[in-house]
Structure 1
Amino acid sequence: MDSVCEQQFSDLATDSRLDLDTRQVRDKVIEQFKAGLGSKKISQALNIPRSTVQAIIQKWKEYGTTVNLPRQGRPPKLTGRTRRALIRNAAKRPMVTLDELQRSTAQVGESVHRTTISRALHKVGLYGRVARRKPLLTGNHKSRLQFSTSHVGDTANMWKKVLWSDETKMELFGQNAKRCVWWKTNTAHHSEHTVPTVKYGGSRIMLWGCFSSAGTGKLVRVDGKMDGAKYRAILEENLLESAKDLRLGRRFTFQQDNDPKHKARATMEWFKTKHIHVLEWPSQSPDLNPIENLWQDLKTAVHKRCPSNLTELELFCKEEWARISVCRCAKLVETYPKRLAAGIAAKGGSTKY
């Protein structure tokens, strides 16, 4: 037996330059396998990778042949190696564009259409979406986390007594420019998938509004540039009247962000004089303010009506603000503990809200 094997190895060694893709090579592999040789010895004798030998043997065991079987449909345009490289690239650089990915495939000799690349990414759960705009969070993570942990146990009745407020800008034509990124499901709010923003950067107006669990309060247009005096005038004319209309009683809490105009000494003195308790608020935390959800509702409703000028824009804003249901407002306040829990889970970072 040993002499037979030695002769076989001698014969195979002289034929080491055989084409790996030929039927002859595959038949020789099976012939030696039937003769009792292992994949390692066959690999050495034929000078082909051991993995290739094992694949040929496995196919022969399953189908009883070494013939190339008919393939299902057209072969993929992307090789497995290039496809994996695309996936790694999009996962590592979420804001890479399809054009950039297309150029990277061309550099390795695989020129494919953008839709081919999109389909390859979709199969692994990567989809091109508009990047969410989130304030750039830095040193205030700690204060956000502290706020969430200190209030997560507050009663539902406490949140019902809060009058939430904020300013927003409404644009006459569309919204800000959008940026597409690649993300997997439930990762939209990860920092690498969001675009940092700063406050108030045209045809637009600025609005101040407020609401509570009992419904929406006043919504007013801010004429010109907002300063401390103008902000206090807005509060004087609208804050207490809104609290009265919403039946918050005398011992309610007012929420505002940390804009310098809001925290100015004269403004804080005004609150003190009016005996209004102001909720201590962490900076750069719009996701902790449920009025942001109402702003989005308002913008969606107003843009559907396609206002043609700033006068119409203001009118439509006030009409749509008044149409926001009490149920919608109550639900936002009722689920506020979940918002705080998300802030804790994010350790003070951005949340899905």
Structure 2
Amino acid sequence: MDMKRFDWSKTFSTDECSIWLDSGTVKVWTKIGQPVQLPSYRHPSKVHLWGGIYLMGATPLCIFTENFNQLRYISTLNECLIEQANALYGNVWILQEDNSPVHTGKVAKAWKSQFVPHRIDWPPNSPDLAPIENLWRILKRRLMVRAPKTVEQLKGIIEIWQSFNPEFIRPFCLSMEKRIKLCLKNNGGKIRY
């Protein structure tokens, strides 16, 4: 597939990420010489997120706490992508996902061959090419401003996701041609985007 001349207008850039509670940087003020006691967490709480963006907006955000495996991935695509993508584009939409073992396992591949009309063969370890990576970074930054203390507060992340309107998302999706040109110019190496 020639990515330099690819039509990205019907492509859903999808990915998942995790957000941990109480495992980030802690800043404290102390007097000189005063001992600092910071909380430690053996098993910090976390939530997993799955989402997708496309030229006209975003998919619903799926939030879950269980491990992300092939069956959960199939369920997520069913809940948050398939119906919306088919309603918008019929059977001509394209799924862009990374090469996570969850995406490339036999069960997931077999299911996608029936329900996903087109997929992009995506190179491994290429997060700077996927436009959704930029959105994850912004989402995490905005969430940290709220300083969530509980898993329930972490789930308030849906409000932030819904604030990403189509006008905000569109430039990320339209940047794909430029990202690919930069990557080719850098001989497939990492780009700053």
Q: Where on the TM-score scale, by shorter chain, does this alignment land: which range?
A: 0.7 to 0.9
Q: 2:9 aligns with which of 148, 157, 160?
A: 160
* Structure 1 equivalent of residue 112 of structure 2: 271
- Corresponding residue number in structure 2 for 1:305: 146
Contact 2:94 2:116 (C-alpha < 8 Å) held by counterparts: no
Which ranges in structure 1 are unaligned for 5 or more consecutive residues?
A: 1-146, 178-201
Are 1:151 and 2:3 an aligned pair? Answer: yes
Q: Compare relative contact order (CA 8 Å, sep 6+) and give the higher one, 1 or 2.
A: 2
The Cα of 1:223 is off from its aligned counterpart by 2.6
Distance in 1 of aligned mates of 2:86 and 2:159:
20
Q: In the TM superposition, what are the counterparts of 1:119-130 in structure 2 within 5 Å? A: none
Q: Distance in 2 between matches of 1:288 and 1:229?
A: 26
Secondary structure at 2:17's aligned position in 1?
strand
1:214, 1:333 → 2: CA distance? 9
Give 1 or 2: higher helix fraction: 1
Which of 229, 252, 270 does residue 93 from structure 2 map onto?
Answer: 252
Q: Contact 1:163/1:253 (CA < 8 Å) preserved in 2? A: yes
- Counterparts of 1:294 and 1:223, CA distance in 2: 21
Partner of 1:13: none
Q: TM-score, normalised by structure 2?
A: 0.84
Moved over 3 A (4+): 173-177
Q: CA deviation at 1:176?
A: 6.9
1:281-292 paired onto structure 2 within 5 Å: 281-292=122-133
Aligned 8 A contact 2:46 2:65 in 1: no
Tell me by how many angstroms 1:278 deviates: 1.1
Amino acid in the other structure paired with 1:220: C
User: For the residues of structure 1 that align with 2:106 and 2:146, how far apart are their CA atoms?
Assistant: 41
* Structure 1 position 250, deviation (Å): 2.5
Shift of the alpha carbon at 1:289? 0.3
Q: Is the 8 A contact 1:218 1:242 kept in 2?
A: no
Deviations 1:222-256 (A, max 9, x none): 331111111111112222133257x2333100111
**In the comparison of the two structures, how many residue pairs are matched?**
176
Structure 2 unaligned blocks of 5 or more: 27-43
Match of 1:196 in 2: none
Distance between the aligned counterparts of 2:60 and 2:3, measured in 1? 26
Would you say the 8 A contact 1:213–1:329 is kept in 2?
Answer: yes
**Alpha-carbon separation, structure 1, partners of 2:151 and 2:86:** 30
Give the number of the structure whose alpha-carbon radius of gyration is greater.
Answer: 1
The 8 Å contact of residues 219 and 321 in structure 1, kept in 2 or not, is answered as yes
For residues 20 and 65 of structure 2, the distance between their equivalents in structure 1, rounded to whole angstroms, comes to: 15
Change (3 A) 1:176 1:240: farther
Q: Give distance in 1, aligned partners of 2:179 and 2:104.
A: 24
Q: Which residue of 2 aligns with 1:324?
A: 164
Measure the CA separation in 1 of the matches of 2:25 and 2:3. 33
What is the rounded CA distance, in whole Å, between the counterparts of 2:23 and 2:185 in structure 1? Answer: 34
Q: How does the TM-score come out when normalised to structure 1?
A: 0.47
Name the CA distance, whole Å, in 2 between partners of 1:244 and 1:219.
18
What letter corresponds to residue 324 of structure 1 in structure 2? F
How far apart, in 2, do the equivalents of 1:266 and 1:174 lie? 33
Shift of 1:269: 1.3
